[in-house]
Amino acid sequence: MKDQRIASVETWAKYVRSNKNWKNEHTKFINAQFKKHDRILSKLSKEKIIKLYGIKNVSGYTKLLK
């Protein structure tokens, strides 16, 4: 496991040294991760509310589905 982490760091260091545009690509990747996290958290929260309150007519709760 430790060898794998070292190899990953070395690979990343080589990539950064050889690519001048790495900051933009890294920023896009990090922002995409945050966006994905927000979508998943929102979906899980909605599902939890539906389950917690036993909502059967989900289509009747348009604000919940947004």
Split the chain (66 residues) into runs of 10 and give each run's mean pLDDT. Answer: 81 90 92 95 88 86 71
Query: What are the tokens at 62?
Result: 């348009």
The size of the chain, in residues, is 66
How much is the pLDDT for 50? 87
How much is the pLDDT for 65? 67
How much is the pLDDT for 28? 94
**CA 22 vs CA 5, 19, 56: distances in Å:** 20, 6, 48
**DSSP string spanning 2-39?**
HHHHHHHHHHHHHHHHH-TTHHHHHHHHHHHHHHHHHH
Q: Give this prediction's pTM.
A: 0.59
How much is the pLDDT for 36? 96
Residue 1: enclosing H or E segment and its boundaries? Answer: none
